[in-house]
Structure 1
Amino acid sequence: MFRKLPGDEAQHLVTTTPDTAVVFRPAVVQTPAIITLVIFVWRMLAGLVRLLWRHPIASAITAVPGVTWTLYGWSWALLTIFGLLAVPIGWALIHRASFLRLIGWRLLAFWRLTWVYRRHWQPVMIISGLGRHLRGRDYLPHLGKVTCTSWADLVTVRMLTGQSVKDWADRTDHLAHGFGARSCRVSVARAGRLLLVFPRHDPLATPLPAVPVPDEASVGPVEVGTCEDGRPWRLKVHGTHVLVAGATGAGKGSILWSAIRGLLPAVRAGLVQIWALDPKRMELSFGRDLFGDRYAATPEHCAELLEAAVVVMQERADRFAGLRRTHTPTVEDPFVLVVVDEVAFLTAYQADKGLKLRICAALATLTTQGRAVGVGVLAALQDPRKEVMNIRNLFPDKIALRLDESEQVDMVLGDGARDRGALADHISPIPAQGAGVGYVRLETSPDPIRVRAAYVSDTDIRAMVEAVTA
């Protein structure tokens, strides 16, 4: 059936010029035309079935006018096209959310898959080094399903055998620019499969107003802003410790005040106490009346307040030993949140070595033993280096706002966070665009989440003070 044409034998070829490569004609096997046609038809049918299975709505909308024209003529085909256009337009005008969820995003996904990803897949994979061209054949990762949301494209990819997640994480810039996106984030969907996120626009580009004060008293996760996918950003403060790192003007105060604002009903109910340490005397002092005598500004008072929190923690630990393993806020044993603004001034830049040791020891004790008995720490700093904050790994949840250097991202969020898309060093320094924007890495997940904290204005803080003091 197959006919082999002879070629040159490589061992009999001789060249008289050492710098010239030996060129020989290899043996060629001719495939019968019928086999080639069968393979071509099989691939065409398989592609058609796969297209109908993955994109039934788009395929039906495309096929119905053609079938109508064939069976009933061009006039009925025009009426069909008019009906197909009128129904979705009317649906979109009446109830836009359900139209986008059921039809709109699927049509957009079909268009993006065909015109953007499948069209540029081969050159992007080869040039970025994620694919290989060997002996005239391309070995490419398999492009899977494309799903569109209101702000991004979610692309599923099956890696080549032998590839790792790091191979893709190191080439996020190639992928982003190759497919015309601002950035690309890589996460593991399951074994051998990745989920690539390509944002189409930035839903966090505009500042957010302060979140309304909750109606019910709760120490559960408090709403402090918005996630990139549109969900409310709820920050867990009870049962954990939170570290916020960001350069000057990055919006650390927005997170601190939004967390305090979310706990305000619980403060008024006696279920929460907020202890404030404000070495700069600027951020937290604006609402000083909220904290009463649990406010400290000088290093001496900060050390005393931290040591007092340690005493409360140890007293509770003695009472809870053998009786309970978790803390439930009550009026007798309220949740104590220690808010520290610019903690680096107390732990690294403090000239008095005695005070520095006292403060570092108290913070280390609180962050290692406090959350089980209802004492949490919410700390903010500008410089996340180890010599500045040597206990940063004791904070389970971390937030990285705008940072000056790319290395600082992994210092705050952990190794590999920037490779997975936490580009905190690329956040805009313009306050209207980047203040409060950051990336969160939770204790339960290694993948960073892009968020923006709501801005709490001076007027909002005055209203909060009046509500509590009244």
Structure 2
Amino acid sequence: MFKKLPGDETRALVSTTPDTAVVFRPAVIRTPAAVTIAIFIGRLLIGLVRIVWRHPVAVAVLAVPSVVAWLYGWRLALVVVWIPFSVLLPWALFNRDSFNAWFGRRLLAFWRLIWVYRRHWHAVMVISGLARHLRGRDYVPRLVRVRCTSWADLVSVKMLTGQAVTDWADRIEHLAHGFGATSCRVSVARAGRLLLTFPRRDPLAVPLPALALPETVSVEPVEIGICEDGRPWRLKVHGTHVLVAGATGAGKGSILWSVIRALLPAVWSGITQIWGLDPKLMELSFGRAIFEGHYAATPEECADLLDEAVSLMQKRAAKFAGVQREHIPTVEDPFILVVVDEVAFLTAYQSDRALKQRTMAALATLTTQGRAVGFGVLAALQDPRKDVLTIRNLFPDKIALRLDESEQVDMVLGDGARDRGALADHISFIPSEGAGVGYVRLETSPDPIRVRAAYVSDADIREMAALFETEETV
């Protein structure tokens, strides 16, 4: 049999002795030493310039004392080191945020680049199957840059020619464990470039108490929690529909009540109405006064309330026809948010078939025609299967809290969401750690965002309802 080496061509050869190994010497082109040295020096200079450009603080910390010690001795180098150190140490102790923004995270990024990613890059790429070996050469994706935030490492990568995002998304667990992280998320930076996110800690591990009532009247994206990067989580409810899916105890109520709480000033001003459908009689009943008569609990009442919403929506559509294409909330034409807790009870588990069809028809009409005229639907359910809620694709924005199975993640957030890092099936079962934690996939972006909703307690809900009960009494 033949043993093929790089540069050999054995297809046209025939051997009369099958047991004899035919070995050919590969073609070798001798490169002049001057050319090799010039290429090496050029690459070295380019690498030094790149390091100085991307990590000026880290290079200065290492290079300046070394140069001073070499030219003037270690005593002067010690003084050079001590003077900035005496300034930076109090800065780091008394104003940690600004110090990290200017120096700390830059030094950390340089250290993580050298010690974590550069040191293990080749091995992880080969073992995970992202590198290729062709004709005796290893082709490895290029590590471009490492940046550090307060909670994660952001690694920029240049893919090999011909690779796809799914090649990386299918190997997020290999990448996470290979670089010592708990998870990895893949997003597209630009053509041929990826951004890998490796969390160093979990900023959402601590429960978030109920947010203060807003001081301004607005139906714009409402603040209901925090994102993983520390920014406020603002959820759009006007001009869209939102589906929330999660297992029992995952924190669906935190999202529903946080949205209601954020809209209270708009409700007081009259430019917003919140209608509640509570077939379980457990979640929305605490704040029944907030819905101002638009509350339903039994399946019959829920169907009637949905039909009323559809009728009002159609009248408003006829009023807006030829006049305006976008809804602006006013007292005459308020934004109406229909909140449905456990929508599956009405669409799948309802024994009355006629009632089920009425409910499904009304929800489908609202979700297909209500956005432009100021009607929004915020629905929550436990089981995201298609036969439970056939209209789930009519909800542009989706939220996946803790789910029982990995397949359910893509059912809620769409195909490929879990491969991009939406590990909703890995969220902790412990309420203090996982309740209200989830992943959001917006209509405008395919990349899931990890978030945590504020926890609105029963006492908070009673205080909110008491405000409306007091108004009614007065």
Amino acid of the structure 2 residue aligned with 1:44:
L
Structure 2 counterpart of 1:250: 250
Q: How far did residue 361 of structure 1 move?
A: 0.6
Q: What are the superposed Cα offsets for residues 330-372 of structure 1, whole Å, 9 maximum, x if unpaired?
A: 1121111110000000001100011001100110111111111
Structure 1 counterpart of 2:79: 79
CA contact (8 A) 1:15 1:22 kept: no
Q: Distance in 2 between matches of 1:324 and 1:12?
A: 78
Structure 2 counterpart of 1:448: 448
Pairing 1:305–2:305 present:
yes
Secondary structure in 1 aligned to 2:388? coil
CA contact (8 A) 1:213 1:261 kept: yes
What does residue range 24-423 of structure 1 map to in structure 2 within 5 Å?
24-423=24-423
Q: How far did residue 12 of structure 1 move?
A: 8.6
Q: Distance in 2 between matches of 1:341 and 1:213?
A: 22
Amino acid of the structure 1 residue aligned with 2:451:
V
Q: What are the superposed Cα offsets for residues 101-124 of structure 1, whole Å, 9 maximum, x if unpaired?
A: 111111111111111111111111
CA contact (8 A) 1:306 1:362 kept: yes
TM-score of the two chains, using structure 2 as the length reference: 0.94
Secondary structure in 1 aligned to 2:92? helix
Amino acid of the structure 2 residue aligned with 1:426:
H
Give the percent of matched residue pairs that are identical in Structure 1 and Structure 2: 73
Number of aligned pairs? 463
Greater mean alpha carbon deviation, residues 95-104 or residues 162-171: 95-104
Q: How far did residue 17 of structure 1 move?
A: 4.7
Q: How far did residue 442 of structure 1 move?
A: 0.8
Greater mean alpha carbon deviation, residues 412-421 or residues 22-31: 22-31
Gaps of 5+ in 1: 1-6
In the superposition, relative to structure 1, how do residues 302 and 84 fare at CA in structure 2: closer, same or farther (>3 Å)? Answer: same
Q: Distance in 1 between matches of 2:60 and 2:136?
A: 37
Q: How far did residue 16 of structure 1 move?
A: 3.6
Q: Distance in 2 between matches of 1:21 and 1:299?
A: 80
Q: How far did residue 68 of structure 1 move?
A: 1.4
Q: What are the superposed Cα offsets for residues 137-159 of structure 1, whole Å, 9 maximum, x if unpaired?
A: 22111110111000111111111
Q: How far did residue 21 of structure 1 move?
A: 4.3
Q: How far did residue 73 of structure 1 move?
A: 1.7
Structure 1 counterpart of 2:3: none
Q: Distance in 1 between matches of 2:93 and 2:188?
A: 38
Runs of 4+ in 1 over 6 A off after TM superposition: 7-13
Q: Distance in 2 between matches of 1:354 and 1:17?
A: 78
Amino acid of the structure 2 residue aligned with 1:215:
E
Q: How far did residue 406 of structure 1 move?
A: 1.1
Gaps of 5+ in 2: 1-6
TM-score of the two chains, using structure 1 as the length reference: 0.95
Greater mean alpha carbon deviation, residues 69-78 or residues 299-308: 69-78
Q: What are the superposed Cα offsets for residues 233-280 of structure 1, whole Å, 9 maximum, x if unpaired?
A: 011111111100011110000000000000111111111111100000
Structure 2 counterpart of 1:4: none
Q: Distance in 2 between matches of 1:180 and 1:466?
A: 50
Q: What are the superposed Cα offsets for residues 402-458 of structure 1, whole Å, 9 maximum, x if unpaired?
A: 111111111111111111111111111111111100010111111111000000001
Amino acid of the structure 1 residue aligned with 2:361:
A
Q: Distance in 1 between matches of 2:450 and 2:464?
A: 28
Q: What are the superposed Cα offsets for residues 271-309 of structure 1, whole Å, 9 maximum, x if unpaired?
A: 111110000000111111222321111001000010011
Amino acid of the structure 2 residue aligned with 1:92:
A
Q: Distance in 1 between matches of 2:376 and 2:15?
A: 80
Amino acid of the structure 1 residue aligned with 2:369:
Q
Q: Distance in 2 between matches of 1:49 and 1:227?
A: 36
Q: Distance in 1 between matches of 2:98 and 2:214?
A: 29
Q: How far did residue 218 of structure 1 move?
A: 1.4
Amino acid of the structure 2 residue aligned with 1:374:
G
Secondary structure in 1 aligned to 2:372? helix
Q: How far did residue 40 of structure 1 move?
A: 2.4
Q: Distance in 2 between matches of 1:337 and 1:95?
A: 43
Greater mean alpha carbon deviation, residues 7-16 or residues 422-431: 7-16
Q: Distance in 1 between matches of 2:8 and 2:226?
A: 69
Greater mean alpha carbon deviation, residues 147-156 or residues 37-46: 37-46
Q: How far did residue 224 of structure 1 move?
A: 0.6
Amino acid of the structure 2 residue aligned with 1:219:
V
Amino acid of the structure 2 residue aligned with 1:278:
D
Secondary structure in 1 aligned to 2:107? helix
Greater mean alpha carbon deviation, residues 187-196 or residues 94-103: 94-103
Q: Distance in 1 between matches of 2:9 and 2:76?
A: 67
Structure 2 counterpart of 1:3: none
Q: Distance in 2 between matches of 1:307 and 1:27?
A: 80
Q: Distance in 2 between matches of 1:146 and 1:303?
A: 54
Q: Distance in 2 between matches of 1:406 and 1:21?
A: 51
Secondary structure in 1 aligned to 2:327? coil
Secondary structure in 2 aligned to 1:89? helix
Q: Distance in 1 between matches of 2:83 and 2:58?
A: 15
Secondary structure in 1 aligned to 2:368? helix
Secondary structure in 2 aligned to 1:281? coil
Q: Distance in 1 between matches of 2:358 and 2:75?
A: 87
Q: Distance in 1 between matches of 2:415 and 2:183?
A: 19
CA contact (8 A) 1:13 1:22 kept: no
In the superposition, relative to structure 1, how do residues 355 and 45 fare at CA in structure 2: closer, same or farther (>3 Å)? Answer: same
